[in-house]
Amino acid sequence: MAKFCPLFSGSSGNCTYIASSSGGILIDAGVSAKSIVTALAQRSADIADIKAIFITHEHSDHTSALRVLTSKYNIPVYATNGTINSIGMHFGKKTEHHAISGSVCVANMEITAFKTPHDSRESCGFIVQTTDRRIAVCTDLGCVTDDVRDALTGCDLVMLESNHDIEMLKNGPYPWYLKRRIMSDKGHLSNAGCGSLLTEIMCKTIKCVFLGHLSEENNRPYIAMDTVSSILTASGVYPGEDFDLFLANRHQLSELITLSD
């Protein structure tokens, strides 16, 4: 059995909860510690049951709660070596931290990092394997690589970045240098890019997809859903019939999904 819930998702903060019957983990901790503790309680989970925090990269919308969470609750942190070196300042004084290069086992779940292309020191996504379910969290990537494609193939549940609508970004208020950064190979994946990748990896194993890290300025939830759904439907895959499609919300709790073994 595995439980999955994006607690927060977007440039204002990211945190995803995944649990087995033996306890839970957080992937990223980019909002206040109080907000995370409250959100967990609203999903009938307790911060005391969180066995580890896994960090995708060092940007503040993924790390801002680390100092409080590690100091107050003594939760160990796992990340790539490059990210560990970049976020040391965010740790509590006695934080237990580990550089992850292969897989680690926490709360009877095997967690594996895979490389993602982003403008950070050494960003990654994570695969969480329970007894017989495979979950992927993959946001903050500017393009799709073989590492990403291989990691996501064969998953039961995928949270994938659907950051921006390309035309909204091009015609929006951001300065050109920021638009160029977002659209670069080390920026963020667009709705169209998300849909295209899903058509490549979609198979009978995937039961559920969450669209994550939506831009507040350069996207709208209905645009992301419509764009991705249209691309999938054109390829012969039908959201709502072949799999469930959800949004990972920015300011409110998303759906809690339970995957039975």
Tens of pLDDT along the chain (261 residues)? 899 999 999 999 999 999 999 999 999 999 999 999 999 999 999 999 999 999 999 999 999 999 999 999 999 999 999 999 998 777 777 789 999 988 999 999 999 999 999 999 999 999 999 988 999 999 999 999 999 999 999 999 999 999 999 999 999 999 999 999 999 999 999 999 999 999 999 987 899 999 999 999 999 999 999 999 999 999 999 999 999 999 999 888 999 999 986
Give, in degrees to the nearest 5, the angle at Cα 244 between 6 and 55. 25
CB atoms within 10 A of CB 88: 12
Q: What is the pLDDT of residues 55-109, one digit of tens each?
A: 999 999 999 999 999 999 999 999 999 999 998 777 777 789 999 988 999 999 9
DSSP E strands in 21-108: the ranges are 23-27, 50-54, 77-79, 97-99, 103-106
Looking at residue 18, its pLDDT comes to 98
- The helix (run of H) or strand (run of E) holding residue 136 is strand 134-138
- Above pLDDT 90, what percent of the chain? 90
Q: What's the predicted TM-score (pTM) here? A: 0.96
Classify residue 49 by its DSSP letter: G
Q: Which of 95, 231, 99, 111 is nearest to 162 (CA)?
A: 231
Look up the CATH architecture of domain 2-259. 4-Layer Sandwich (3.60)
Residue 140 zone, left/alpha/beta (φ > 0; ψ -120 to 50; rest)? left
54, two tokens: 């896994």
Rounded to whole angstroms, the Cα distance separating 221 from 162 reads 10
Q: Which residue has the tokens 């995928």?
A: 158
Q: Where are the domains of the chain?
A: 2-259
CA-derived radius of gyration, the chain? 17
Kind and range of the H or E run holding 71: helix 66-73
